[in-house]
Structure 1
Amino acid sequence: MNAPQTAAQAMAAAASRLRAAGVPDPARDARVLLAHAARIEASRVTLIAPEDLAPEIAERYEQLIALRAIRVPVSHLVGEREFYGRRFKVSGDVLDPRPETECLIEAALAEPFARVLDLGLGSGCILVTLLAEMPEATGLGVDLSEAACLQASANAVLHRVEPRAEILQSDWFSQVVGRFDLIVSNPPYIALDEMNGLSDEVRGHEPEMALTDGGDGLGAYRVIAEQLPEHLSPEGRVFVEIGPTQAADVSRFLVDAGLTDIRVIQDLDGRDRVVCARNCGENAR
């Protein structure tokens, strides 16, 4: 990348470079990364556009654009991602929080809950958000990845819910004790033969164990559904995020587990995104 004298020239050159590299929305990324290099809010970039870039900012910006051009995600370069109005620290050890997961949050918050379990918590965005939005609730989050547990713990501290959040390394329910009136999960649901279709950003920079079960993409749901009755309180609710073609299979697993009131929630793009159920059958007794 050349060394333009002004911020506006630097952004234009960066956007052109990212566009040539096939990066989606290159102008947005060029703007966000300049803000990060200059250590200002993105909304202030227009204010510095006519100004000369200090050499140290230009150097940082060059490094960021070079990494983005080889498809390192913006969230990993800036170290955070926004989710449900809050900023969460992220890294290559966890999935990026995604806006479609916010429909799970909305549905879960439709009724009060006192105790929540997040299975496969990753960055902690679901558990932390639910606790932040429900100040009297407590919760447990589990993940097989020790690195993910550390990242989630940091986000719990960041958003001041750590006194109400317990985080454990666990293979699904293996270390979980007790019952919960809300259980949530965004498990790995991409089938192994679908992995090659993912973007370079996802396939190359997000943890494979959080993306796929190495099989048909339904393995986690089978395990979760089988053990749900032991841990879901009477009248308790469960919400699981799914891939857009998995609603029928996941619904069947929950029915077979004895849960009722099965519903499928669509995301803003009209795709099946969350399956929810309630424990009000024989398992609730």
Structure 2
Amino acid sequence: MPPGLSGARTIESARRVLTARFAEAGIDSPALDARLIVGHALSLDHTGLATQASRSLSESERAAIAALAERRLQGEPVARIIGVKEFWSLPFALSSATLVPRPDTETVVEAALEAIGEQRKHDALRIADLGTGTGAILLALLHEWPNATGIGTDIDPQAIETARANAKALGLASRAQFQIADFETELGERFDLVVSNPPYIPSRDIAALDREVREHDPLRALDGGADGLDAYRAIARAAPGLIRPGGHLILEIGAGQEADVRALVSSSAALEWCGTRHDVSAVPRALWFRRGPG
């Protein structure tokens, strides 16, 4: 049991003890992680934690909190522990086959909204999300565009089931389909918008990734091959058959990959680069391409 937690008699004191312990361990967001873990262990939301802050904890409740806290101290991401991560202000359930949706990937959603524009947001747009994982990008866009429909593909059946469950939980199941497929699978139609956050970490760099990523995210959702560009090559080959004239392609990229991916997609798929969107750390994160009208 984390030091001091055995003496934590109330919900608030348990939060304080965990916050201090997480801070000592170098965890980036100790107060937030403590709140999430205590809330998950006690099945309380933020309001419940606040209104019941002075409530006494039972021995079994302290043990439940301690068990989750120990997992966090061993390097397991808090989102994995509680089984859900917020993305685009929407809750997404996770599974072992999916990445944890990250704030950087919201840059792809922002780029897609810019590409389509305000004038078309009520159109019956068709979207494809390649390597959908939790379904986060596709479902965030369907949430923004009330008349859009789309399909998410992934090579992992468990990821597909996770995405389907998220679509149902968010009330979007009637507008979202999911299919087991790789990046080059023909989907039988062309789309107004294709989006993807593909694997882009060079194989040699996997071992140096942060422990929370290296030990807990699925390898095949990270490993982009020798140079990190294997998935982009596949997407570029498939793009002419997936994007209708005038349609758009938005790709998440890793740090330092902008020039290579721009050149690859522009030459292989004959798509015009329209812009690059940077994430909150000013890193180029989403590339926007457009297919000509012909």
CA separation in 2, counterparts of 1:214 and 1:16? Answer: 40
1:245 positional shift: 0.6
Please point out which of 247, 264, 268 is paired with 2:280. Answer: 268
Equivalent residues in 2 for 1:59-74 (5 A)?
Answer: 59-74=63-78
1:38 positional shift: 1.8
Please point out which of 129, 151, 159 is paired with 2:162. Answer: 151
SS for the counterpart of 1:53 is coil
| Corresponding residue of 2:85 | 81
Count of residues in Structure 1 that have an aligned counterpart in Structure 2: 282
CA separation in 2, counterparts of 1:12 and 1:18? Answer: 10
1:57 positional shift: 2.2
CA separation in 1, counterparts of 2:28 and 2:112? Answer: 32
TM-score normalised per structure 2: 0.91
Q: Deviations over 1:218-265 (max 9, x none)?
A: 110011012201111010000000012101011101210211143111
1:89 positional shift: 0.6
CA separation in 2, counterparts of 1:159 and 1:138? Answer: 14
SS for the counterpart of 1:142 is strand
Letter in 1 for 2:280: L
CA separation in 2, counterparts of 1:201 and 1:92? Answer: 13
Please point out which of 191, 210, 213 is paired with 1:202. Answer: 213
Please point out which of 105, 108, 116 is paired with 2:109. Answer: 105
Q: Deviations over 1:53-103 (max 9, x none)?
A: 133322211111011111111111111100111111112220011111112
CA separation in 2, counterparts of 1:8 and 1:156? Answer: 35
Contact 2:186 2:241 in 1 (8 A): no
CA separation in 1, counterparts of 2:66 and 2:183? Answer: 42
Q: Which moved more, 1:205-214 or 1:231-240?
A: 205-214
| Structure 2 alignment gaps of length 5 or more | none
Contact 1:168 1:175 in 2 (8 A): no
SS for the counterpart of 2:56 is coil
CA separation in 2, counterparts of 1:109 and 1:13? Answer: 42
Equivalent residues in 2 for 1:208-247 (5 A)?
Answer: 208-247=219-258
| Corresponding residue of 2:95 | 91
1:213 positional shift: 2.2
Letter in 2 for 1:212: D
Please point out which of 33, 43, 64 is paired with 1:29. Answer: 33
Instruction: Provide the alpha-carbon RMSD of the alignment.
Output: 1.6
CA separation in 2, counterparts of 1:7 and 1:165? Answer: 40
Please point out which of 140, 148, 151 is paired with 1:140. Answer: 151
SS for the counterpart of 2:215 is helix
Is it true that 1:15 corresponds to 2:15 in the alignment?
no
Please point out which of 271, 274, 277 is paired with 2:289. Answer: 277
SS for the counterpart of 1:109 is helix
Contact 2:274 2:288 in 1 (8 A): yes
CA separation in 2, counterparts of 1:199 and 1:44? Answer: 33
Letter in 1 for 2:64: R
| Corresponding residue of 1:189 | 200
CA separation in 1, counterparts of 2:177 and 2:50? Answer: 42
TM-score normalised per structure 1: 0.94
SS for the counterpart of 1:18 is helix
Letter in 2 for 1:196: A
| Structure 1 alignment gaps of length 5 or more | none
Letter in 2 for 1:91: S
Please point out which of 120, 123, 128 is paired with 2:131. Answer: 120
CA separation in 2, counterparts of 1:173 and 1:152? Answer: 20
SS for the counterpart of 1:11 is helix
Q: Which moved more, 1:93-102 or 1:117-126?
A: 93-102
Letter in 2 for 1:186: N
1:16 positional shift: 3.2
Letter in 1 for 2:142: L
